[in-house]
Amino acid sequence: MHRPLVVLVAALLVLVSLPLAPAGAQTAMQDARRCVELVNARSDLERAVEHCSRAIASRAFKGVNLAPLYYNRGWARDELGQREAAIEDYSSAIANQTDLLQAYVARGYAHMVGGALEAAVEDFSLVLRVDPEDFVARFNRGLAYERLDRRDLAAADFRKAAELQPDNPRLRLILEQLEWQAQ
């Protein structure tokens, strides 16, 4: 459900475009590149976390250059089942780049999986205020509403999601089930 690839590519472009720096900063740059590569490959996520952590700790990156490192470390931690640490990293990514919508979606999903459904709805709603066509945020907010037993709001989100992806069989099944339960 996460969309790391877009952020990973953007992060790699930012990291590659930074000017040459002293040896310490070059080590940080190498760690940052390795972090992005490992997360993008979805392999050896423990090492990805280590590389991201070293790059973050180096203080060589600030703001929008730091946000993708937090996001990627959060994604890796999320995949490793370290949900609370992932949520903290997504929050740090957002603090460094408030328009990083993928971080809100990822944090919302982590909240939802962890049972913090109201927090999940809040994150997904923030994304949808900026981009009402975001299928992942729309679908996941529908799931969170359903788990909160707000079936009318869930159905509205699932209907809109079905408009965005009309050939999605899972959505048709969910909508049929909601209609059946409403009878």
CATH code: domain of residue 150: 1.25.40.10
71: in domain: yes
In this structure, the answer to whether residues 72 and 127 fall within a common structural domain is: no
107: in domain: no
82: in domain: yes
**Residue 75 three-state SS:** helix
Q: Whole domain around residue 130: which residue ranges?
A: 115-183
Alpha-carbon distance of 57 to 6, in angstroms, equals 24
Alpha-carbon distance of 76 to 154, in angstroms, equals 29
Please state, rounded to an integer, the average pLDDT across all residues of the chain.
88
Span 119-148, pLDDT tens digits: 999 999 999 999 999 999 999 999 999 999
In this structure, the answer to whether residues 88 and 23 fall within a common structural domain is: yes
Span 86-125, pLDDT tens digits: 999 999 999 999 999 999 999 999 999 999 999 999 999 9
Q: Of 69, 96, 123, which residue constitutes the final position of a domain? A: 96
Q: Give the pLDDT confidence score for residue 132 in this predicted structure.
A: 97
In this structure, the answer to whether residues 64 and 119 fall within a common structural domain is: no
Phi, psi dihedral angles at 12 (to 5 degrees): -65, -40
Q: Give the pLDDT confidence score for residue 24 in this predicted structure.
A: 59
Which pLDDT band holds residue 56 (cuts at 50, 70, 90)? very high
Res. 172: pLDDT tops 60: yes
Domain count along the chain:
2
